[in-house]
Structure 1
């Protein structure tokens, strides 16, 4: 299995490099004079090798020679990519003069005294260009030789053993599937160990036994591997009521990754019919199954379905009779769940990890003796540490607990040693290796392009909340994800992230206002699998408490510095580093010196190392939350390929003039707490998509921002000096110019002159595509075009001093999900919500007002946050969809009132009360 994983990953590397070279041929054809044929030859060889590796990746047992060859190929693939990137960097930084040497003589023969200086400058440039291109051609020749050597080295031994390897590997695979499938454990869990399953089982049983629902109903149980989906389905399938005859026809079919539709249909027939039917044609088998099930109430379980194609092939064999039949599907893939339950998504049941309390109960029942299953006091703390690693996964708890239970002496020191070496135990202990085998199945099922995306998650520490955008942007900067056929890289990255979520490989932790996953976590056990594969494939290196000693023949290309470590051993080669992420306070500056292949540097929350020189390929630089950072060096302008710069949460108040040299910059992000003054010339940054929060102190800067026609996210704070009157007059022109691109807008003004309302009223072509809007300045009244913001999902108003009737405008916005009404947002002390309106509003935050909700108001509201109410909060009991209520006040009577309402509310919403 490990060899197959290695082969797939290396195959992806070669596909990726071939694609990069092909793109270079298309985009840089004019600059590749003399080496185009070499590049084409390399592309052809790389694609051929990638195709071979794709074939080999389906085999689970590769001989030692082939495994060694795959490891060697992996390193050559990385080296080839480094050479290509350096080639591109040098090529683009040294423009090729097409007239070459002829230009040299032409200018030598045609110059006058005034042009002597220009002549020598041009001549020197020509010589440097020729020298650089000679070096480029030499490097490409070396890459070509390397790739050709790879093919020859394999050809020397592969052909003679290929037939034997194929047959023996296939036989081993079939044998492993029959005798070593670790999922079989789910079918034989003892009743005493079915902890925390009752509530879930009762809900599924209610769906299965609903006699008022006569149509065929599909129920999908979805979640990542090891959560107990199969166990849950088995408890329903074996329930005495069902076994007793409620469903005359029952069948349990395990589908798995390598399914055969004909064999699956035969299994159904064998379980529901006493007569063996000899047929092998798929159409005949489908007709036979439909005939046997027609007119009968049946219960079928399709366990472990990985692909929608498998479900669709099985679905056609199910007659949609009105007999109350049920089908249960277990899957790790949300797409399979959505497809199988396409008629009614209410029957999708997401299986979640066990709570800490239920995890402890399951662990006790697995490890300690009946009848009380008591844990010795001295083992309680170490048991909690072991359970934390299991993180609510029943399979891990049962497997690890079973191993501990099998040891006769339950000694504290022995358990501590086991916990300290748990990762190693999971790799080497046959009993525990079942956990990894279950999880690696999900990894193996990933297509080529998702494997490096998934392995990149190993960059982040255990139990770390990973922001979606942060992850996606690093994928893009590293080149792991790129645009496809005109489809932008950001959209491709978003699709890749959603596929990881859909396949239950990451756990969503936060959602944005539109329901999109905003951040995620990786289960501890899955993270161990990622790190295991990453280490074997040299995908990344992790530094924790101890110094890292890399293998001598491996080059470090991705480095994640976690916790306080004594660092790398002396003289460690970091010259090939392409990605660095730090999760510690301080990082040695030497890590960044002369690392010419670095694409990603993420120092969020660290102390600032001031040296970023010669990072010519750097695309992503995050200095977020560096509280000691007061300025950027002038040398920031040397990062010519920089696309993403994050200075949110810093103390930077002014950006250097050289910032305008970063003409590939796409994101320049600050925050309201870290406003920055921007120099003249921002109009040159034509690729900017996100800009702000910027401090606008003159009309010229506002006009330049208006020239950034691709700007989607803009945040500006307006000057309070007399010049601001002129600035405010240009606001309407700015919004009109950006009306077709803007999706997010923040405008702040600490004084809030009333003529901002006039500027808003005079917008000729308002930005009606806005999805997020924040206004922190005096308006007194909403402009008419606000009523046409049909796509806006989030609005924040502060110090706007609106009239009470303006609430009607907000109430009628059809897409509004999140509304925050801050201090002095309305020119009143009371806010009342009544009647129809706010059709999609789910989150409402209010600061500094008396609040009341009338019966029938804000029906979709789920989360209410009320800070510093003046005297009263009324009508919370009328919010029928309420799930969470936050209250912050110094009035104890209000706190007690809200708590009582929440306790007696039919939804039993969570209540968080804070007294200030």
Structure 2
């Protein structure tokens, strides 16, 4: 719906109408123009009207109303909302320029350059026109919908339409569609048969179309299972349910099973409760609540579905993790997409129902695989598409055409319409504040790993995150992201050791439907000319370039563009140089990562609205002077470029929140100073809104004034000298928001004097790279705040005493990395040490010859990587006690260690790897040495240093994987 556009404008007007902004704007409005004086009033009227329109849109959004009148009206509302967004951006620019030093000169100069666009009088006149347009639009919807005489007018075309599609119970499910559910079915049956006689709630949850209802129905229609319950009922819960309807349906189902005539329609709420309690009080019941959207349903039904001590069960199916959380841990069943084998099996059963063993024809095999891949393990899509293809000619040309038109078929083919409706339910049920965030994810390429931090910064830049209390925008965005995951709209690919999301992806079909919705809303456009297909709206606000073989100038109108992200690193620079900066005056996001850019065109300096500039992995040599004109810039990312120095006046960018600039010098990670970092510039300590600063060189002036950056949450500081440490500790003690700290010495001989380090706020993560004194790990910081640490790295510390013994009391630590941190010979892990540690990396500890693990130590450990311990000749003693380890890597070890590794001492670990001369060898923990050796062709291994933040360091391979 159009709410995504309206909501953003309402928020922007709210910011423009804030007291502080109006106070700054007062001198600009003057008294010589009636329209200028009326501008604040018109803005308030527009905001009020848009809020009412948004409420109206939300109501009709819960109905399936696709009439031409309504759709036309919605398009007109969207256009007016976007016009108003342009006006607000112009207004905020003029006010912002006025706030700058010498503002009257700047504004006068700019007006002379573009008087028609940024004249305050023109802005006021446009706002007045918008106000009148909105008033007319509000009248128009009622004038052109079906009129009803009298005062109690309700437009039938809106409120009398059919409710949204409800999946309900599909009684036509065939057994051949039940593929890949065996394990979940066993868990569900086990939960039903638990000897515990108390009431149990069982949750089956996952994204739409995975077969949750199919699984529950398969068990429900099993007479042998259901006969163990005295009464049972299946209830389909709608999004706009009433509890009385649920109780009424429950009564009718139960009495229907008893073959008794019963009329619940005439009963009120109290009568329904009494009758239900009377039935279930002394009977063992089984109730299935299908497609539950809110946990409130379960709290309400508990009024009548009491725990009668007879072993009753309630099964719920839901798309939302929060709803599933009402079930106990052992009774929460998460349904995942089918694996590749099961997906192909299900597809072939439906596409070739009459063929022997449902075998696919050889000439259709590859195309069939492509179609299955597009379904991404979604049973609903596999069944619907397979069934449709079974009716088509078995011709490769026709199948290939179908594949290229698959997404259009989902929208237009009535046989596939059910897939779209079920997936769209999740979108329509999203809270308004999440809809923009969800649609934005469609801009990333198919199967792209979306990194959490990048996504959150983009959301904030776009204005999607609403301030709430004292929480930072970043914290609120984390909550939004987690909610989209809990609602099964995004899939988590990786989490860090303390369970925070690292990267995500969108299911292929969910993404395609999000793209369709985005195009309809003119929210964003996806440019991909791989197959000559360009999915563009009329005047898109955002453009994502996935592949560009030709110029894109003729395909889009850049005049209202807010976001431009290029994912095609082969795109010619000229494709955007010639028109994006010069013609997209409202641009807020410009991401050109990976493009062969050496200079930034001067027209970028005129992008008054630019908030996010990312030029990672480009050939940029230096930052131009005009970058200082971008007063609204919030994020500047120049990772892995040559631009490490800042022009004079850079400190004028007061709104900067994230400054991310560094370059990798040594890909082998053999040097302490393998990173090149930015030079501190004059006045950097005045950027009071900075939250992330990576990586910056230390000097006496900078560390003395670093404490002014009180909002910093993450800091990486390099080339620290002993003489800097006292002042650095003092400055760090003033930072009450800091949660992540990385300190790197100037060289391997420099001593980091950090014994006096104290912080106001407990850190989540600390990296100390360089020599530290033996007493540092016993300093007050580690004995107080250190107990809250979640991640820690010690590198090049060259400690004589074991750091393990000193750190073992860090009870919350989940990840520990030691790189050249210790010069001793033995590491001992005593019982109960590191009770929450999940990941440990021991890298290049040249003297360590023995590692001992006592029983009861590291009992939560899941991941181990040991590299370059040349003196270690046997697997760590006591590793047999580590039953929770899932993966273990041993690389760069001596030949004796490798021989002992093959002796079957790690059979309890599912995945064990070791490397030899660039090849990665896999030793299956479940196999014995007697089973022999076999090899499988793989890609050569590239093993970057594991103590780095490189997200790809766990991508492993080898010229031959050996299974022993």
Is 1:666 aligned to 2:657, yes or no?
Answer: yes
Match of residue 205, structure 2, among 219, 222, 225? 222
Is 1:476 aligned to 2:466, yes or no?
Answer: no
* 2:44 paired residue number: 40
Is 1:250 aligned to 2:232, yes or no?
Answer: yes
Per mean C-alpha deviation after superposition, the further-off stretch among 328-337 and 370-379 is 370-379
Match of residue 592, structure 1, among 566, 577, 581? 581
Structure 2 CA distance for aligned equivalents of residues 711 and 207 of structure 1 = 48
1:307 match: secondary structure: coil
1:730 match: secondary structure: helix
Preserved contact between residue 41 and residue 144 of structure 1 (Cα < 8 Å): no
Residue-by-residue CA offset, 1:542-589 (whole Å, 9 max, x unaligned): 11116787989x323101000233132538431211111110113432
Q: What do you get for the CA RMSD once the two structures are aligned? A: 2.9
2:606 match: secondary structure: coil
Match of residue 406, structure 1, among 388, 391, 396? 391
* 2:380 paired residue number: 395
Shift of 1:10: 4.8
Cα distance, 1:172–1:732 mapped onto 2, change above 3 Å: closer
Structure 1 CA distance for aligned equivalents of residues 45 and 184 of structure 2 = 59
Structure 1 CA distance for aligned equivalents of residues 64 and 368 of structure 2 = 36
Structure 2 CA distance for aligned equivalents of residues 508 and 96 of structure 1 = 43
Structure 1 CA distance for aligned equivalents of residues 129 and 739 of structure 2 = 50
Cα distance, 1:26–1:285 mapped onto 2, change above 3 Å: farther
Shift of 1:595: 2.4
Cα distance, 1:183–1:671 mapped onto 2, change above 3 Å: farther
2:70 match: secondary structure: helix
1:379 match: secondary structure: helix
2:622 match: secondary structure: coil
Match of residue 425, structure 2, among 434, 441, 457? 441
1:857 match: secondary structure: coil
2:864 match: secondary structure: strand
Preserved contact between residue 216 and residue 325 of structure 1 (Cα < 8 Å): yes
Residue-by-residue CA offset, 1:204-251 (whole Å, 9 max, x unaligned): 11111112x1111111111000011111111222234313x2112211
Preserved contact between residue 865 and residue 885 of structure 1 (Cα < 8 Å): yes
Is 1:623 aligned to 2:615, yes or no?
Answer: yes
1:542 match: secondary structure: strand
* 1:105 paired residue number: none
Is 1:266 aligned to 2:256, yes or no?
Answer: no
* 1:834 paired residue number: 830
Cα distance, 1:334–1:899 mapped onto 2, change above 3 Å: farther
1:403-552 equivalence runs, <5 A: 403-407=388-392, 409-545=393-529
1:233 match: secondary structure: helix
* 2:294 paired residue number: 307
1:693 match: secondary structure: strand
* 1:702 paired residue number: 703
Is 1:650 aligned to 2:650, yes or no?
Answer: no
Is 1:610 aligned to 2:600, yes or no?
Answer: yes
* 2:272 paired residue number: 285
2:600 match: secondary structure: coil
Cα distance, 1:493–1:884 mapped onto 2, change above 3 Å: same
Gap regions ≥5 residues in structure 1: 98-117
Shift of 1:367: 1.8
Shift of 1:389: 0.1
Cα distance, 1:624–1:28 mapped onto 2, change above 3 Å: farther
Match of residue 374, structure 1, among 359, 365, 377? 359
Cα distance, 1:523–1:708 mapped onto 2, change above 3 Å: same
Per mean C-alpha deviation after superposition, the further-off stretch among 88-97 and 830-839 is 88-97
Give TM-score, length-normalised by structure 1: 0.89
Preserved contact between residue 180 and residue 342 of structure 2 (Cα < 8 Å): yes
Match of residue 334, structure 1, among 321, 331, 346? 321
Cα distance, 1:913–1:396 mapped onto 2, change above 3 Å: farther
Structure 1 CA distance for aligned equivalents of residues 469 and 453 of structure 2 = 22
Is 1:318 aligned to 2:302, yes or no?
Answer: no
Shift of 1:441: 0.5
Structure 1 CA distance for aligned equivalents of residues 470 and 867 of structure 2 = 47
Shift of 1:868: 2.5
Cα distance, 1:748–1:596 mapped onto 2, change above 3 Å: same
Preserved contact between residue 38 and residue 141 of structure 1 (Cα < 8 Å): no
Shift of 1:336: 0.8
Shift of 1:700: 1.1
Per mean C-alpha deviation after superposition, the further-off stretch among 747-756 and 836-845 is 747-756
1:188 match: secondary structure: coil
* 2:881 paired residue number: 878
* 1:775 paired residue number: 768
Shift of 1:126: 13
Residue-by-residue CA offset, 1:387-422 (whole Å, 9 max, x unaligned): 110111111111111111122x31122111111111
Preserved contact between residue 716 and residue 748 of structure 1 (Cα < 8 Å): yes
Cα distance, 1:365–1:128 mapped onto 2, change above 3 Å: closer
Is 1:727 aligned to 2:727, yes or no?
Answer: no
Residue-by-residue CA offset, 1:326-357 (whole Å, 9 max, x unaligned): 1111000111111x22xx23321111001101
Is 1:204 aligned to 2:194, yes or no?
Answer: no
* 1:12 paired residue number: 7
Cα distance, 1:397–1:898 mapped onto 2, change above 3 Å: farther
Residue-by-residue CA offset, 1:764-808 (whole Å, 9 max, x unaligned): x34551110001101142242213212110001111122444322
Preserved contact between residue 548 and residue 567 of structure 1 (Cα < 8 Å): no
Residue-by-residue CA offset, 1:849-898 (whole Å, 9 max, x unaligned): 45342322111111112223322322332102112222223546645654
Structure 2 CA distance for aligned equivalents of residues 440 and 71 of structure 1 = 20
Match of residue 683, structure 1, among 664, 682, 685? 685
Q: Where is the helix percentage greater, Structure 1 or Structure 2?
A: 1
Match of residue 888, structure 1, among 869, 876, 891? 891
Preserved contact between residue 717 and residue 743 of structure 2 (Cα < 8 Å): yes
Preserved contact between residue 204 and residue 334 of structure 2 (Cα < 8 Å): yes
1:560 match: secondary structure: strand
1:777-792 equivalence runs, <5 A: 777-781=770-774, 782-785=777-780, 786-788=782-784, 789-792=786-789
2:837 match: secondary structure: coil
Shift of 1:642: 0.7
Structure 1 CA distance for aligned equivalents of residues 405 and 118 of structure 2 = 53
Structure 2 CA distance for aligned equivalents of residues 911 and 363 of structure 1 = 35
Preserved contact between residue 646 and residue 669 of structure 1 (Cα < 8 Å): yes
1:509 match: secondary structure: strand
* 2:283 paired residue number: 296
Per mean C-alpha deviation after superposition, the further-off stretch among 232-241 and 647-656 is 647-656
Structure 2 CA distance for aligned equivalents of residues 872 and 750 of structure 1 = 36
Residue-by-residue CA offset, 1:60-110 (whole Å, 9 max, x unaligned): 22542332121122111111101110111012203599xxxxxxxxxxxxx
Structure 2 CA distance for aligned equivalents of residues 182 and 597 of structure 1 = 43
Preserved contact between residue 768 and residue 791 of structure 1 (Cα < 8 Å): no
* 1:862 paired residue number: 862
Structure 2 CA distance for aligned equivalents of residues 487 and 162 of structure 1 = 47
Give TM-score, length-normalised by structure 2: 0.84
* 1:23 paired residue number: 18
Residue-by-residue CA offset, 1:288-323 (whole Å, 9 max, x unaligned): 222211122221111100112222222222111221
Preserved contact between residue 206 and residue 336 of structure 2 (Cα < 8 Å): yes
Per mean C-alpha deviation after superposition, the further-off stretch among 893-902 and 509-518 is 893-902
Preserved contact between residue 725 and residue 754 of structure 2 (Cα < 8 Å): no
1:49-88 equivalence runs, <5 A: 49-88=53-92
Cα distance, 1:289–1:903 mapped onto 2, change above 3 Å: farther
Gap regions ≥5 residues in structure 2: 31-36, 149-153, 665-675, 918-964
Shift of 1:618: 0.9
Preserved contact between residue 619 and residue 643 of structure 1 (Cα < 8 Å): yes
* 1:113 paired residue number: none
Structure 1 CA distance for aligned equivalents of residues 747 and 534 of structure 2 = 58
* 2:934 paired residue number: none
1:790 match: secondary structure: helix
Structure 1 CA distance for aligned equivalents of residues 583 and 644 of structure 2 = 28
Structure 1 CA distance for aligned equivalents of residues 275 and 591 of structure 2 = 60
Structure 2 CA distance for aligned equivalents of residues 795 and 742 of structure 1 = 15
2:738 match: secondary structure: coil
Preserved contact between residue 636 and residue 658 of structure 2 (Cα < 8 Å): yes
